[in-house]
Amino acid sequence: MNIESRLADLIGAAAGRLHTARSRNDQVAVDFRLYVRATIDALDEQIRALQQTLAEKALAYAGAVMPGFTHLQSAQPVTFGHHLLAYVEMLARDRGRFHDARARLLTTAPGVGSIVALTYASAIDDPGRFKSSKTVGALFGLTPKKYQSGETDVTGRISKIGDAAVRTALYEAANIILERPVKGGWLKEWALGVAKRAGMRKAKVALARKLAVTC
């Protein structure tokens, strides 16, 4: 209700249609997933910035000799720069764990398994390189081709450019959601609405693109 109230403040009476074809449980699940995803991305960026700072300090103190330590005992001499780089590597492992958690987060979408999630996550790599989630669909060739010349404006089939493996994985996930008895929540309801208007084939492509954007 808090979300609906806030949305009503922003867009007015249209907020009353927030629950169309979806339950509050669906909305809470989506909101929680989006919050966790945003938090992971924010933490990843902060850790990356810390790594950059440590690496710069390591370069500055590359010649500063200090005793190394192993099991809390003095060991062979190292430089302070090397000591700082050890923390850079530790933080890299922490970032890897966050990346794994983000990939696992994708599997919370009904019909998306670990293979689809990992394929998608490996292709996305750094989410920060996208200005908007809407551009992700174009990256994997899931947006229609456009031909414009003078007064001519033709919208064709999807471009099929980019990573074919990710495109195939997303389409297969969409196929499972629509063709099998999967509880797809609002995503399935939305895609079934598209199927009624444009046919099942276009609905699967649209759902694959939707998965790319919302995941």
For tokens 């794994």, name the residue: 100
Top CATH class of 21-106 equals: mainly alpha
Is the separation of the CB atoms in 185 and 173 below 8 Å? no
Note the helical H segments in 107-214: 114-124, 134-139, 164-179, 185-198, 200-214
CB 76 within 8 A of CB 29: no
Q: Is the pLDDT of residue 188 over 70?
A: yes
User: Tens of pLDDT along 38-94?
Assistant: 898 889 899 999 999 999 999 999 999 998 888 878 888 999 999 999 999 999 999
Mean pLDDT over each residue of the chain, to the nearest integer: 80
pLDDT attached to residue 15:
67
Q: Where are the domains of the chain?
A: 21-106, 111-215
